[in-house]
Amino acid sequence: MKYVIITGGVMSGLGKGITAASVGRILKNRGYRITAVKIDPYLNIDAGTMNPAQHGEVFVLKDGGEVDLDLGNYERFLDIELTSSHNITTGKVYRTVIEKERRGDFLGETVQIIPHITDQIKLSIRQAAEEEFSDGTQADICLVEVGGTVGDIESMPFLEAVRQMRGELPEHDYVLIHVTLIPKDTMGDLKTKPTQHSIKALRELGLYADIIVGRCERPISAQTKRKISAFCDLPQSGVISAATVPDIYEVPMEMEKEGLADALAKHLNLDQPQVDTSWYRLVTKEYTNRVTVAIVSKYGIEDVYISIKEALKHAGRALSIEVKIVWLDAERYEKCQLKDYDGILIPGGFGIRGIEGKIGAIQFARESNVPFLGLCLGFQLCVIEYARNVLGIADATSEEFGEGTHVIALLPEQEGLTELGGTMRLGDYTAEIKDGTLAMKLYGQKMITERHRHRYEANPQYISKLEKAGLIFSSMNKNRMESAELPTHPFFFATQFHPEFKSRPTKPSPPYVGFVEACRANKLTK
């Protein structure tokens, strides 16, 4: 097992996750099996209880792990399925060590950050790296992205652990990539000082960058690379620019052009086999059409729905349709705006804020034959809308929102739960699709597996009433409703699950493909 450690300097939000995922893609294109670990230095056990407006989307893994959105990037770039052990947090590490201490595993010892916490970090990294994929194979190379910025108090034990790893592993099994910012000054010149300082901070911790990836607006000149090379003790070939590109999936190609593959091959002593270029062809295919989709959301930031954004892009790529997204504020948009879009998407969410705006948008999509895709909360709101406006249950609502007729009810197993962390219906569940439905047309198979994250469901007491009135529940997990659709509508489809989490550029998600195709058909009728 070889390790590629990725650290970050200067500031957060540089795209370390995309850099890590792109490094992985470059190596995968050469036939290596890649896995990835994300280290998040916060004290939360996982991202499940964190506000997405602050931290970005909570990504859901097949085993139900609620994790950092970077794991979504790894899965999408590398076409792998990870588990929660691939997201290591301070909370998880300390909990494990304290549990061991209480069990008496360290009897007699003083339990300390070094060596006990650092040993646990190294063990957790190794266990995740060596975990088998579902086909029983193991990775050749593990990417380890250390979240945060070098110098943060929180990341110290993790940086110490990856420092120790260099000494413990054979020389060619370890490489450290440091991602920094190369900003522009007021004259437009690229400046290297922040990188120099950040390398200095790294050195103070005993860490050495073998490769520097500099995030910049335009590629770094040879002269600037020479300067970085001189100040930061690495050959010029180890300085790679990561200039801003229109689409994140083009980053591997850009870094490949900069010589990153050769630098990695040198450090890790890799053969340079034939490169599979299919990824590069896929992500640069020309679009022939364009559609505009409205996403009605209560959050001001797009990072909350990063997987939806990407899933629309994957579906669009497959159909050569560029999907433009317009974000509508659920509490503020004007109803007359809705007719401007080729399709309407209602994403997942929690709480009552903004739901009336979302229900209004669903009603518009249903009555005006505009393609509609509802996801999780979007599925639940489509049931509420149908109950209110077609069945005539004026006070139809979800138990989550308060008083009324609960056509959406708490899952029975959620009753009386006292802990909020990690207790939703999470991760992979199968659904059986009914014959002759849109769901069957989209997926083309009877049994599907998709990822979930919810506490409420379509109330079994109202299913037959809703079905008699025309809303068809087209897939089920036992007696739990997994999708709904309207046979009389060009494309009206909602899922209790989140198909976006399994979407990849190389494997677009069927409901998204169907939706984007329907948006295009709708646009043609205008």
Rounded distance, CA 212 to CA 236, Å?
Answer: 10
Q: What is the DSSP letter of 480?
A: E
Tell me which of 86, 178, 406, 498 is the catalytic residue: 498
User: Is 178 among the residues known to form the active site?
Assistant: no
Nearer to ligand GLN, 319 or 376 (CB): 376
- The C-alpha atoms of residue 227 and residue 238 are separated, in whole angstroms, by 12
Q: How far is the CB of 331 from ligand GLN (least distance, A)?
A: 17
| Interactions with ligand GLN, residue window 375-404 (CB under 6 A) | 376-377, 380, 400
Q: How far apart are CA 325 and CA 373, in angstroms?
A: 14
Q: Which CB, 75 or 400, lies closer to ligand GLN? A: 400
CA dist., res. 167 & res. 155, Å (int): 19
CB of 319 to ligand GLN, least distance (A): 26
Least distance between ligand GLN and beta carbon 398 (Å): 7
What is the residue-wise DSSP string for 218-238? SPPPHHHHHHHHHHHTS-GGG
The span of 9-17, 294-302, 372-380, 442-450 binding ligand GLN (CB under 6 A) equals 372-380
What is the nearest approach in angstroms of ligand GLN to the Cβ of residue 422? 14
Q: Which residues are bridge partners to 481 per DSSP?
A: 476
Shortest approach of ligand GLN to residue 350 CB, angstroms? 4
Q: Of all residues in this chain, which one has the CB nearest to ligand GLN in the complex?
A: 348
User: How far apart are CB 37 and ligand GLN at their closest, in Å?
Assistant: 25
Q: How many positions of this chain bind ligand GLN (CB under 6 A)?
A: 11
Nearest-angstrom CA–CA distance, 346 and 358: 7
In contact, 382 and 504? CB cutoff 8 Å: no
Q: Specify the residue, 28 or 298, whose C-beta has the smaller distance to ligand GLN.
A: 298
Site for ligand GLN in 329-348 (CB under 6 A): 348
What residues between 286 and 315 interact with ligand GLN by CB under 6 A?
none
Catalytic-role residue among 232, 376, 382, 519: 376
Name the residue nearer to ligand GLN (CB basis): 327 or 350: 350
Q: Which is nearer to ligand GLN, 316 or 348 (CB)?
A: 348
- H/E element, 487: none
Question: DSSP state, 273?
Answer: -
- Residue among 313, 366, 453, 520 that touches ligand GLN (CB under 6 A): 453
CB-based contacts of 501: which residues, under 8 Å, 6+ apart? 59, 60, 61, 72, 75, 307, 450, 451
Structure tokens at 75: 């899965």
Q: What distances in angstroms separate CA 353 from CA 122, 299, 330, 378, one per listed residue?
A: 43, 10, 8, 14
Nearest to 199 by CA among 211, 185, 217: 211
Distance in angstroms between the alpha carbons of the first and the last residue of the chain: 56
Contact 178, 215 (CB under 8 A): no
Residue 455 in contact with ligand GLN, rule: CB under 6 A: yes
Residue placing its CB nearer to ligand GLN in the complex, 208 or 350: 350
For ligand GLN, which is the closer residue by CB, 377 or 407?
377
Q: What's the min distance (Å) between Cβ of 29 and ligand GLN?
A: 34
Is 519 annotated as catalytic? no
Q: Determine the 3-state secondary structure of 165 from DSSP.
A: helix
Q: Catalytic: 498?
A: yes
**Given the rule CB under 6 A, which residues bind ligand GLN?**
348-350, 376-377, 380, 400, 453-456
Catalytic site residues?
A: 376, 498, 500
